[in-house]
Amino acid sequence: MELKKDINAVSIDMLLIVHSEKRRAAQGTHSDLQADPGALLQRCGGFQGVGNGVRRWQKLEGNNLHGNLAEKQHLQQPQVITSYDNQGTQLTVEVHPRDAMPQLLKKFSLAKRLQGDKNGNTRPRQPEGKDAHAYPWDRSSLKSMPLDLRQFEKLDTYASQVTAKSGLDELVNDLLQEAHSDLERVRAIWIWICHHIEYDMAAAQEKDHQAFKPTDILRTQKTNCDGYAGLFERMCRIAGVQCMTVPGYSKGFGYQTGQSFSGEFDHAWNAVYLEGRWHLVDSTWGSGLVDTTTSKFTFLYNEFYFLTHPALFIEDHFPDNKNWQLLKPPQSLRQFENNMYHKSEFYNKGMLSAHPETSVIRTVNGKATVTIESCAPTLFMFMLNGKQEHGLLSLRKNGMKLEVYPPTMGTHKLQIFAKGNSDIYSSVLEYTLKCNYVDMGVQLPAELHQPVGPSWFSEQMGITKPSHPDPLIHTSDGRCSISFGVEEGISVLASLHGDDGPITEETQRRYIFQLHREKRIELKVQLPHAGKFALKIFVKKRQEPGNYIFVFNYLLCCANTKVNWPVFPESFGNWGQDNELLEPLSGVLPANRNVPFKLKLHGIAKVLVKGQDTWPLTLNHEGYWEGSCSTAGCQEVYVMVLENANHNFYSYILKYKVNAQ
């Protein structure tokens, strides 16, 4: 190579650049598209491997450094030939007219394009020890460098609104108008790509390498993972920031828990050099999601994949070169395959850890237990084989505990979802559950919803200081009494649910009798038979329209086969909040009997019990209305009250049925 240089000119007959860097990836696969069940519970991943696509892309790139060229100029452009040896060494040779400026020199050496390091080196250096982060994750940050995302608010807004008017150089120049550091330059490029380039399913399926060309990406605003990574690298280099494309394996679309990886790579992402250290980004997975049912892309920005902490990035990205893990110690492929996969939403919604830490778990005596630790109170739900059944999920201030009882032996799919600050539950974990024994004594009611037991959430909804803090309540005689404090203005509704009769939708609330004592509510419960029942608790603000909101439920268990309690009497709207019923508590009265009544009612002038005849109750010195009535000759008995002594209008407050003779 002959090099002549003075102040005014640079002349190079041939430029030879050697990169010792493995470049192998899959062709024609898109297994790294991230997806979860449900239309909005999936993320888009990268799709097509690099492989020959990178080689082809570089050849095309060399011919299109300044945007679209006229076809007639094509033959006059320099040729860029890239090849690799068996060791993965990259060799790039440019052949150009003697009097022309070398294109690769423009690309790699012009100060405005790619600035060298302090030693004047323009070729991006390989990662070193100082780039590595400790593994496992130390919980300090989701990012690989200290960031205050609020500092990007103005820049993000600006970058997301920039339009591509012509070539790539002009676009980058426009983006950098509001960027004043390498970090801000990278951020502007990242935001633009994530908000303007959509994933092209057709290109991935058809193995269309044209989708890698930056000029075509700008024109169509569509590409696959290789195009995302190549475009990001190219724009960073134009901006003067060192950037590399990294191929590898990913846990994305089509990934099965615990699967092994072999053969060609299926994804590509980037490493970018900032503040003396390499950092990782994946603009494909940062841009949005693909609906697995319709294969349509939706822009849904995901901050997680911008400068992700390497100890988190390794959960779903395994690079071809272990040095690009940026970890100390690096993980093996076997570890990558076996390690638990926490989806990005796991960390986005404030989760810190989960146990077990393996993706495949086995039941012990028919039960599997999963716990999650979070940095703030979070709502969770789960699905076992697509149904919210066969589990007890209890909320904790910093996480949750889930006990699962598979109904059959074999392999089951367990998914866990978290809500966070949004209104949508997102999939955060997925386990493969293997069960070799079923405990037939643990058959949970199908109506047992999540969560079970009181928690920070029930307290937030106005229910405080419960008499039973645990979700399970055992009763030997089929009866129990549960009480809790209630904030001012909150109404409570409760219903009882079992898997077999005699409970019907009409009688779900008749096995519960609700009493109010000052600022506490007592629920008296009588079970119709032995078994397991879900006691659901709902709340509603009295002054607000709308339905009652489910808050939590208890699991009531009774093994006494002699239990056969009837329903409570039916109460009407005029049954006051502070009223108290002592007797009769059974809603079904015996025929041809004198039945005693004892109630505490507030603000009442007169009380009558009406059967075939009418019997008045009297007020004793303790404040209880007492008396009796005969059930002879009647099928129903009512308790009626007169609130104003000056009026003659009585209101029904309780209704009893009389057994047939």
Active site residues: 225, 267, 282
Among 55, 79, 77, 54, CA closest to 67? 77
Give CA–CA dist 111/209, Å, rounded. 30
Token pair in block for residue 601: 């009612």
The DSSP-derived string for 534-547 is EEEEEEEETTS-S-
Is residue 71 within 8 Å of 44, Cβ to Cβ? no
The number of residues making up the chain comes to 661
Give CA–CA dist 623/661, Å, rounded. 35
Sequence-ordered strand ranges (E) for 109-240: 133-134, 198-199, 222-223
Token pair in block for residue 645: 């002594």
Burial state string for 412-436 with b = 16 or more CB within 10 A and e = fewer than 16: bebbbbbebeeeebbbbbbbbbebe
Sequence-ordered strand ranges (E) for 275-362: 277-281, 288-290, 297-299, 306-308, 317-319, 327-328, 351-355, 360-362
Is residue 91 within 8 Å of 84, Cβ to Cβ? yes
**In which region does residue 79 sit, left (phi positive, over 0), alpha (psi from -120 to 50) or beta (all else)?**
beta
The DSSP-derived string for 510-564 is TTEEEEEETTEEEEEEE-SSSEEEEEEEEEEETTS-S--EEEEEEEEEE--TT--
Is residue 525 within 8 Å of 556, Cβ to Cβ? yes
Among 470, 458, 456, 463, CA closest to 484? 463
Token pair in block for residue 449: 């919803």
The DSSP bridge partners found for residue 596 are 628
Containing H/E element for 250? strand 243-250
Report angle CA 397, 399, 401 to the nearest 5 degrees. 110
Q: Helix, strand, or coil here: 312?
A: helix
Question: How crowded is residue 641: how many other Cβ atoms within 10 Å of its Cβ?
Answer: 23
Burial class, 171, CB count within 10 angstroms (exposed 0-12 / middle 13-18 / buried 19+): buried
The DSSP-derived string for 430-494 is EEEEEES---TT----TT--S-BS--HHHHHTTEES-S--SSEEE-SSSEEEEEEEE-TTEEEEE
Among 305, 307, 306, 189, CA closest to 239? 189
Token pair in block for residue 318: 């395994």
